[in-house]
Amino acid sequence: MLHFEDINPSTGELIAEIPSTSPEQLQAAVARARAAQPAWAALGVQERIKLLGAVSERLEANAEELADLISKEMGKPRAAALGEARGWAKQAQVELQEISRAVEPEWHETDSNRVQLVRDPLGVVAAITPWNFPVGMPFQILLPALGTGNTVVFKPSEMVPLVGARIAELLGEGLPPGVLELVQGDGALGAALVESDVNMIGFVGSRATGIKIMGAAAGGLKRLVLELGGKDPLIVMGDADLESAAECAVRHSLRNSGQVCCSVERVYVADEVADVFEQLVIEKAKEWNCGDAFEEGVKMGPMVSALQLQKVEAQLTAAQAAGARIAYRGEVPAGKGFFHPPVVLTNVSADQEITHEETFGPVVSLTRFSGEEQEGVRLANDTPYGLGANVYTADVERGLRMAQGIHAGQVGVNQYLGGAPGLPWVGARQSGFGFLGGIEGHRQFTVPKSIAQPKVATQ
Ligand code: NAD
C-alpha cells in the first residue's frame, strides 16, 4: 500500500505515514456514497439537519484535541487553531438553519395551475479542500452538500490528513453508512475523484488546480463550485487614516503566515503619504514574532511546507532582482521548521511577478501610486483574480465609488473586507466559479425542479 508523509512544519518531524486510498478503494467509496444517496435524500431536510447538527457539541467537546492536530499538521498558532475549531461549533448551527431555509419548497400560481418549486440534490458530491483552514474549508462544503440531500466523498488536503479524518469522524458519527466517505491522498487522488462517478465537485484551493478540475469535469458536465486563490489589493488614498490602514495591511498580510485566500497581497499607497505609511508598516510588522505553533504568544507559525517556503523565497528573490527592496525582514527560530520571517517589501512595481502571482506568504508588498481615484481602481483591477479588496480614504463617498468599480467578491471601505451572516463568499473573475455560503451558495448543491398541476375548480 502506498503511503504519504505527514510532517510537522514547526519541527520538520514526521507525524505519521498515512496510507493513500487506492484506486479500487476510491471506486468503492464512491459506490457506497451512490448507494446511500436516495435514502439520505428521502429522510427530508429536517431529519438530515438534526443528524448533522449533533456535530456542534462534538466539535466543542473535542476542540482542544482538534486544535492540537491543526497546529501540529499545518503550523497555525495554537490559539488561532482553537478559535477555528470552536468557531465552527457555533457556525455549523447557523449554516444548517440557512440550509434548511434554502431548500424550502415554494408555491407559484397562474390562472390555471399551481406550481411547486422544489430543490433536488445533485447526487454524489466530491469535496476537495485545502489545508489553510482545515476545519472551516471542509465544513463550508460538507454541510450544504449533505444538508441538501447529497452524499459526499471527502478528500482533505494531504497536508492535514489527521484533521480531515477527525472532522469526518465527528460529522459522520450517527449518519447512515455511505453518506460521508473519507478518502486520503494527494492531487492524483483528487484528480481520480473528479473523474469518478460523482455529480458535483465542491472545491476550495488554488486557481491552477481549479482550472484542471474544470477541464476534467467538462466531459461529464459535472456541476462545480470552485473557490480559488486571490491577489487582493489594499488602496491607501492620500487622505486615509494611515494608522488604521497600516494595521490592516500588516495584520492581513501576515495572519496565518500570509496563507489566507483573502490576504492583503498588494498595497498601493498614494505618493504623498508613502514615506510615513511605510514606516508605520515596518513598526507594526516588528510586532509579529515567528515561532513554533505551540509556543505561547507566537503570532506567526511556520509555512505549511518546505515547498511553500521555497515558493515565497523564490518570489522575493525575483522581486529584488527586479528592483524591489526588503525594508524589513524579521527573525526566524533556529531548527528544521519551515519558518519564513515577516517581510516588508518596498519599491514594488506593477510589472513584477510578485504583483501578479499569489504569494501565500508573510510579505507586506508596497507599491506607490499617484493617489488618483481612477488609477487606484485600475491598479486594483490589474489582475485576473477577484476575491477581495480594501480601500482606505477619509472621503467615504469616494471609497464607496471605488468599491463599485473594483471587480471583487468582497470589498472593505475603511475596514478589512468581510460580509455579514447569511451572505455568500464570492470569488469573482478567476478567483472562483460559483460560490459558497448564504442561501444562494447552499442552493448550488441542488437543482431546482418545478412541478405543475391544474388548479382544482372551486364551485
Ligand atoms: P491546491 O490547489 O494545491 O490543493 C487543494 C486540494 O486540491 C488538495 O486537497 C489537493 O490534494 C487537491 N488537488 C491537487 N491537484 C488536484 C487535481 N488535479 N484534481 C483534483 N484535486 C487536486 O491548494 P492548496 O495549496 O491546498 O491551498 C491553497 C490555495 O487555496 C490558495 O490558492 C488559496 O488562495 C486557496 N484558497 C481559497 C479559498 C477561497 O475561499 N477562495 C479559501 C482557502 C484557500
pLDDT digits (tens, 9 = 90+) for 63-107: 999 999 999 999 999 999 999 999 999 999 999 999 999 999 999
Domain extent, residue 54, equals: 3-228+427-452
pLDDT in tens, 153-202: 999 999 999 999 999 999 999 999 999 999 999 999 999 999 999 999 99
Is the residue at 441 inside a domain? yes
Q: 247 an active-site residue?
A: no
Q: Ligand 1 centroid vs 415 CA: distance in angstroms?
A: 27
Residues 384 and 240 in one domain: yes
In a domain, 457, yes or no: no
The CATH number assigned to the domain holding 194 equals: 3.40.605.10
| Nearest-atom index, ligand 1, CA of 158 | 11
* The total number of structural domains that make up the chain: 2
Is pLDDT above 90 for 421? Answer: no
Domain co-membership, 98 together with 183: yes
CA–centroid distance, 227 to ligand 1, in Å, is 9
Q: Which of 211, 261, 358 to mutate to test the pocket of ligand 1 (most atoms within 8 A of CB)?
A: 261
Q: 70 with 167: CB under 8 angstroms?
A: no
SS3 119: strand
- Residue 422 pLDDT > 70, yes or no? yes
**Residue 421 falls within a domain, yes or no?**
no
Phi, psi of 173 (to 5 degrees): -55, 125
Q: Decide whether any atom of ligand 1 lies within 6 Å of the 211 Cβ.
A: no
- Residue whose Cα lies nearest atom 14 of ligand 1: it is 187
Confidence of residue 309 (pLDDT cuts 50, 70, 90): very high
Q: Which residue's CA is the nearest one to ligand 1's atom 38? A: 261
Pairing relationship of beta strands 151-155 and 200-204 according to DSSP bridges: unpaired
- Containing 353, the helix (H) or strand (E) segment is helix 353-356
**Which pLDDT score, from 0 to 100, does residue 459 have?**
57
Q: DSSP secondary-structure letter at 219?
A: T
pLDDT digit string, tens, across residues 355-409: 999 999 999 999 999 999 999 999 999 999 999 999 999 999 999 999 999 999 9
Structural domain includes residue 418: no
pLDDT of 456 reads 81
Whether the pLDDT of residue 54 is over 90: the answer is yes
Report how far residue 93's alpha carbon sits from residue 286's, in angstroms, rounded to the nearest whole number.
39
Catalytic residue (one of 227, 278, 358, 373): 227
Same domain, 38 and 176: yes
What spacing in Å lies between the alpha carbon of 295 and ligand 1's midpoint?
Answer: 28
Q: Are residues 264 and 115 in the same domain?
A: no
| Judgement on whether residues 128 and 247 belong to the same structural domain of the protein | no
Protein residue with its CA nearest to atom 32 in ligand 1: 206
pLDDT tens string 320-341:
999 999 999 999 999 999 999 9
Mean pLDDT of the chain: 97
- The Cα–Cα gap between 446 and 433 comes to 16
CA nearest to 117, candidates 453, 454, 451: 451
* Position in ligand 1 atom list of the atom nearest CA 212: 18
Distance 432 CA to ligand 1 centre (A): 12
Note whether 52 and 162 are same-domain residues.
yes
Average pLDDT over residues 11-15: 98
| Residues 44 and 106 placed together within one structural domain of the fold | yes
Catalytic residue among 248, 261, 262, 290: 261
CA distance 408 to 403: 9
136 CB near ligand 1 (under 6 Å):
no
> What is the chain's percent helix, strand, coil content, to nearest 5?
45, 20, 35
**Res 319 pLDDT > 70:** yes
Q: Mutation test of ligand 1: which of 204, 257, 264, 435 has the most ligand atoms closer than 8 Å to its C-beta? A: 204
Pocket flag, ligand 1, residue 205 (CB < 6 Å) = yes
Which CATH number characterizes residue 351's domain?
A: 3.40.309.10
Catalytic (active site) residue 353: no
